[in-house]
Amino acid sequence: QVQVMESGGGLVQAGGSLRLSCDASGRSFVVFASAWYRQQPGKQRELVASITSRGITNYADSVKGRFTIARDNSGNTVYLQMNNLKPEDTATYYCKAEAFVSGFPPGDYWGQGTQVTVSA
């Protein structure tokens, strides 16, 4: 139905920056909201940032002022610009697309995740 793929993770020093990308693909679908989550070993997955089709954004308190979520005009690509990274930002980052697929009810589609590691 909808395939979601993240890219852009890697290893960076504290204070550095990374930009994650999330691409949604498939047939006859519309993404009406997207979000980035992250998960550290042994912890629950947590919301990092989200954006609606109208461009309304929401951020976790821990990343406000450092991370920026944005989407392209089609809504099929979402970015997460991460600045001033800290070691505690180390996690696997997942993208979620909330989409309507023709002939199916609206649903959540997840990517496989991309690893972000921030060294002290």
What value, to the nearest 5°, has the Cα angle with vertex 90 and ends 87 and 67? 85
pLDDT given at position 69:
98
**pLDDT tens, per residue, the chain with 120 residues:** 899 999 999 999 999 999 999 999 999 999 999 999 999 999 999 999 999 999 999 999 999 999 999 999 989 999 999 999 999 999 999 999 999 999 999 999 999 999 999 999
